[in-house]
Amino acid sequence: MKDNRLPNYLFHQGTNFYAYEYLGCTLQRSEGGYIYTFRTWAPSAKSVGLISSFSGWDTPLYFQRIDASGVWELEYTSERSLEKEAYKFRISSDRGTFDKGDPYARFSRGGADGASLIFADSSFEWSDGEYLEYRKRTVTQNDGAYLSVPLNIYEMHFGSFMRHEDGRPLSYREMAVILPSYIKKMGYTHVEFLPLQEHPYDGSWGYQVCAFYAPTSRFGDPDDFRFLINSLHTAGIGVIMDWVPAHFPKDRWGLYEFDGGPLYEYQGKDRQESSSWGTRFFDLGREEIQSFLVSNALYFMREFHIDGLRVDAVASMIYLDYDRLPGEWIPNVHGGRENLEAIAFIKKLNQAVFAEFPDALMIAEESTAFGGVTHPVSDGGIGFNLKWNMGFANDFYDYVATDPLFRKHKHTALNFPLMYAFSENYCMPISHDEVVHGKKSFIDKMFGSYEDKFLTARVALMTYLTYPGKKLLFMGTEFAQFREWNFDDSLEWFMLDYETHRAFRDYVIALNAFYLRTKELWELDFSPEGFRWLLADEADKNLVAFRRYSKSGEYITVILNFSGAEQTVRIDTAPAKELSVIFDTGNTSLDERHFPIVKEGLSCFAEVKVGRLCGMILREQTDKIIIKRKIKKQLR
């Protein structure tokens, strides 16, 4: 039998980052058949038994406790494969006897039952090597600019993206047929799935996970999930998974009081539970929990080729007073509100991930001004490489919901984000959180008439795509779904039967394509050298103008007019021949796409007309480019 003293030791030290190969259910073949070894960690248990579809649900097979720190083990030999057979752990303690799912199960029945399913003998063969090599070349430090590539993420909830006519969601393999071509057509570089680990309650959207190592069985088995990821990769599309290491629900079969009392959760009441979510917080200072979670992150990267994780609710981990009133929390040893153990865990997590996958994406959903979220641990940060810019989103939605007559009072929504834009590596999110619970869909947030909503939404999306930072858009926004997102129903694809919605979808396709081919919009996202204001304080005009620069010094000019009236603005330029519109929101007349450059002393400028609720992207043109354009026009 294999000597497991080292993985056991490392597990208790918090440094076994292959913990799933030690705990859970592992398989070894022999001449006598199949040897399954079951292990679990339950230090307060008096006994642990295996109950299963193959050995009987009523008569447990009892484990042996193999160390003083609470690891239990059972070896079971079968003449046949037990793949996809169901099992649970029956744990007895001073507080009673409970049937639990395996915390390290790679497959789970989920739901109210929560039985684990053996999945120890995957036969899946990957064919995504070309994409993984591309990832290595691009998601790196390149010529002094980090992530100097376009990153345009399509965020989606798997179960409500598209459904069969009878209401059933698509399976992993059915999604693999339609999703890659759709993502490619729309111009996204990555798809980000809301959590797909096994969760009992659909209404949690996947954020209340019970079986962390098990892709949800709602849509197929783990190899079906691999098939989907492989299909996306071979189409040139990256895959990001929402990941929830902060907390877990109190379903009886899950991690909740696993061995009869708090184990995976904090022991103390001051840290143990979220009153708002009704969930338990992981004890991130406990070494065995660190092994569990870091291994879990790496498991999905190793075993499923996941390209990155969007880490949920980081603020709930790093602040002791998160979701707590005064008197409900105890300060740290320095008297502060920071959870020092959790911060140390996050650093350990990111260091472990980047040591093995330097081309991974670790994206923080962190809603506060905590410093250094995307700074390397070696520089005093906590080591993520991207952070959601949630402050921009909240202020911006309030701005576009305001009557243009009064937008001047909220102009800081447009210019203030550049005060901190380069303090972190930001991702600009138009996310699922903002299109539910009465907040309205993206299109319906816009102020005004039906027509003005669409005009404003076009300028809003141009704003989001031209400001510094990587991009994320939630499903349904791309065709202007009016109804709020409903996790229990399909997107309203029938809206594309209407010309206005088809035209909006086509605009998003064109805007994304422009973004992907325009290096000024992504080469220097995280450097002040990539951005310069031209008009930052035109509050009375509801207008801003700025330049975005590439590494070679080339630039484009962006003008965004959120006013209900046409504006004429003076744009300073180099001594070129004209300033020409190279992309707009669709309401610029053909005779207003080229503006002559005027010399005045040592300065040059152009007078640019910008339509109401209109966005324009322009480039200074030389004689050579103008002649080429005229020849093309004549040939038409």
CA 369 to chain centre: 19
End-to-end CA distance of the chain: 77
Region for 142 from its dihedrals, namely left if φ exceeds 0, alpha if ψ lies in -120 to 50, beta otherwise: beta
Active-site residue (options: 155, 365, 424, 538): 365
Active-site residue (options: 224, 265, 312, 434): 312
Q: Name the residue with tokens 């209340």.
A: 208
Residue type, 187: G
Among the listed residues 160, 177, 300, 178, the one whose alpha carbon sits nearest the alpha carbon of residue 218:
160
Residue type, 325: L
Q: Identify the three-state secondary structure at position 182.
A: helix
Between CA 77 and CA 80 the distance in angstroms is 9
Told to judge if 328 belongs to the known catalytic residues of this protein, a careful annotator would answer no
- H, E, C per residue of 101-127: CCCCCCCECCCCCCCEECCCCCCCCCC
- H, E, C per residue of 34-83: EEEEEEEECCCCCEEEEEECCCEEEEEEECEECCCCCEEEEEEEECCCCC
Could you tell me if 511 and 517 are in contact, meaning their C-beta atoms sit under 8 angstroms apart?
no
CA 291 to chain centre: 23
Residue type, 230: N
Could you tell me if 558 and 545 are in contact, meaning their C-beta atoms sit under 8 angstroms apart?
yes
Between CA 594 and CA 584 the distance in angstroms is 12
Among the listed residues 231, 283, 247, 182, the one whose alpha carbon sits nearest the alpha carbon of residue 505:
182
Count other C-beta atoms under 10 Å from residue 587's C-beta: 16
Told to judge if 365 belongs to the known catalytic residues of this protein, a careful annotator would answer yes
Cβ neighbours for 439, distance < 8 A, ≥ 6 positions apart: 397, 445, 484
**Positions marked active-site:** 312, 365
